[in-house]
Amino acid sequence: MSNLLKLEIVTPEAMTYSDEVEMVTLPGVEGEMGIFPMHVPLMTQIVAGEVVVRKDGREHSFAVGDGFAEISSERVAILTDMAVDEDNIDETRAEEARRQAEVRLKEEHLSDEELATVNAAMAHSVALLKVKRRHSR
Amino acid sequence: MPSTRDIRRRIKSVKNTAQITKAMQMVASSKMRRAQAEALAGRPYATLMNAVLAEVSAGAAEFSHPLMEKREIRKRALILVTTDKGLCGALNSNLLREAGRFDQETTVFITAGRKGSQFVARTRRSMAAEFTYKDSPEFAEARAISKFAQELFLKGEVDHVDVLFTNFINTLSQKSEVRTLLPLGELSALNPDLTSEGHSDLQAGGKEFLFEPNAATVLGNLLPHYLNYQMFQFLHEAKASEQSARMVAMKNATDNAKQIIKDLTLEYNKLRQANITKELLEITTAQMAMG
């Protein structure tokens, strides 16, 4: 068996990442988990956060939104509503989005739909900022 | 026999029409490019999601969920995805002809797009809800529609939900199609056309999956999300079809107008020459009579 994982990160807009990697770290609902090749088949939900990919001994991060991950022995498929490469994160815009979401959350008359959208925007921007700040340091 | 002035007036009016249809063609073609790109960009996600669901369902055979429950069909709902505006060829009439085949007594309609609502009101069918979607459909819009349908289904008000929309094949061809949204039934049988070739051998393996935190929670979240996403993709396909159909219709209209202008110009020139000849004849006859 190969000692590589086929990783696919897909959002509704595009296929963000598709490559053979050595290891991935996912933000699972019950905490972070590191996935190596030959993992047992696993289906899990992920929360907004950071996906770390190790390829050729180097680590690379993605900020992701809520979604699902399907893990099998040689493949990891991540379905999420947002995925941004750490190099493409615009810190000022993420900060701005977070502030806007905060303002919207204070409004009282939000419908369920709006609340879900705002919460998602909030989680997205927080994830973006977290990934950006951790790496710029 | 129309006078030269009448013909000139007609040429002018046809020219104006041609200008308008040409402008609409341009607008539709730029919107079309965007809508097509969006519809195509969503396909990998849809493919992967189908593959994931198929694999998971193979590995969690005994799992069942209220959304998968098959019941005897007494009432059904049809989500009718049409356009807001006309001037897009036979697109809407094809859709509405399909919609007309559903039994009036047992079907409630959920419409997205104004043409569909008008149809339902005109033919006095029962309407459950009316939704709108923009030129570039948003996930929230799709979520609203699919959530509404899921609630109807879960409350037992309907036993079957279909979606009627226009599937985008390419710029020149769009096909109105009916797809079943609910019940999910056999997960592995979902839209075989969207499940790509590469995954078929994986499905055959039938691996046993672990779930974290547990199967009920994960699938309980995944299934509604899957339906929302499915609806989102349907809206995208419908939009891409609409813009393509409109562009083609407007291109035909412009071409026809140009042909009419050509014919009218020919007729105009003939008439003009005939008039000149007639006048010349009159002058010469008059001269001869004088002489």
Q: Do A70 and B56 touch (CB under 8 A)?
A: yes
Q: pLDDT band for position B244 (50/70/90)?
A: very high
Q: pLDDT band for position B191 (50/70/90)?
A: very low
Question: What does the DSSP 8-state code read for residue B137?
Answer: -
Q: Where does chain A have alpha helices with state H?
A: 91-106, 112-136
8 A C-beta contact, residue B65 and residue A30: no
Mean pLDDT for chain A?
85
Q: What is the mean pLDDT of residues B5-27?
A: 94
Question: What does the DSSP 8-state code read for residue B193?
Answer: T
| pLDDT digits 0-9 by tens, B47-83 | 788 777 777 766 665 667 788 778 888 889 999 999 9
Task: Report the relative pairing of strands B173-182 and A5-10 from DSSP bridges.
Answer: unpaired
CA angle A44, A45, A49 (to 5 degrees): 125
Q: What is the mean pLDDT of residues A28-45?
A: 88
| pLDDT digits 0-9 by tens, B145-173 | 998 999 999 998 899 999 999 988 888 88
Q: Which residue has the higher pLDDT, B57 or B26?
A: B26
- Which of A64, A80, A45, A61 minimizes the C-alpha distance to B45? A80
Q: Which residues contact B140 (CB under 8 A, 6 or more apart)?
A: A113, A116, A117
Which residue spans of chain B are classified as CATH 1.10.287.80? 4-23+249-289
Q: Where does chain B have alpha helices with state H?
A: 4-41, 43-59, 91-100, 114-122, 139-154, 200-205, 215-290
Q: What is the mean pLDDT of residues B204-232?
A: 78
Q: Report the alpha-carbon distance of residue B28 to residue B135 in Å, rounded.
A: 11
Name the residue type at position B42.
G
Mean pLDDT for chain B?
85
- Which of B16, B140, B23, B127 minimizes the C-alpha distance to B82? B127
The pLDDT value recorded for residue B199 is 41
Q: pLDDT band for position B188 (50/70/90)?
A: very low
At residue A113, what are phi and psi to the nearest 5 degrees?
A: -60, -50
Q: Report the alpha-carbon distance of residue A61 to residue B228 in Å, rounded.
A: 28
Which residue spans of chain B are classified as CATH 3.40.1380.10? 42-245
Assigned superfamily of B4-23+249-289: ATP synthase, gamma subunit, helix hairpin domain (1.10.287.80)
Evaluate if residue A24 carries a pLDDT over 70. yes
Using the Cβ of A112 and the Cβ atoms of chain B, whether some distance falls under 8 Å is answered with no
CA neighbours closer than 13 Å in the CB half-sphere of residue A95: 5
Residue range A5-86 forms a domain whose CATH class is: mainly beta
Segments making up each domain of chain A, as ranges: 5-86, 89-135
A66-70, A95-99, B50-54, B183-187: the lowest-pLDDT one: B183-187
Alpha-carbon separation of residue B45 from A45, A68, B233 (angstroms) = 16, 12, 10
CA distance B95 to chain A (A): 26
Rounded to 10 deg, the angle between the A91-106 and A112-136 helix axes is: 150
Cis upstream peptide for B192 (omega within 30°): no
The pLDDT value recorded for residue B186 is 56
Using the Cβ of A31 and the Cβ atoms of chain B, whether some distance falls under 8 Å is answered with no
Q: Report the alpha-carbon distance of residue A47 to residue B3 in Å, rounded.
A: 76
**What is this structure's pTM?**
0.81
Using the Cβ of B198 and the Cβ atoms of chain A, whether some distance falls under 8 Å is answered with no
Told to judge if B246 belongs to the known catalytic residues of this protein, a careful annotator would answer: no
Assigned superfamily of B42-245: ATP synthase, F1 complex, gamma subunit (3.40.1380.10)
Name the residue type at position B200.
S
Evaluate if residue B204 carries a pLDDT over 80. no
Q: Report the alpha-carbon distance of residue B224 to residue A44 in Å, rounded.
A: 15
Chain B environment of A81 (Cβ under 8 Å)? 139
Q: Do B48 and A42 touch (CB under 8 A)?
A: no
